[in-house]
Amino acid sequence: MKKSQTKRILDYLLTGKGITAIQALKMFGCFRLSGRIYEIRNQYEFKVESNFVKRNGKTFCEYFLKP
């Protein structure tokens, strides 16, 4: 049985790494990371934190699980 995008993203976050929208698109084909994070917070009841990161003059959000 194929895992959903949400479950695959949750499994990735459980490794202790953070994820950005670009990474989610490249790794999981996910265009709406914020929607998958919403599902992880509500359906799986994990505490997902977000942090704004600035790199190369661009600001974006990175999501991670709170330890």
What would the DSSP string read from start to end of 14-59?
A: TTT--EEHHHHHHHH--S-HHHHHHHHHHHS---EEEEEEEETTEE
Q: What local confidence, expressed as pLDDT, does residue 67 receive? A: 76
Range of the domain at 24: 5-65
Where residue 53 sits, what CATH number does that domain have? 1.10.10
Residues of the chain under the 70 pLDDT cut: none
Q: State what percent of residues in the chain have pLDDT above 70.
A: 100
Q: pTM above the 0.85 mark?
A: yes
Task: Report how many domains make up the chain.
Answer: 1
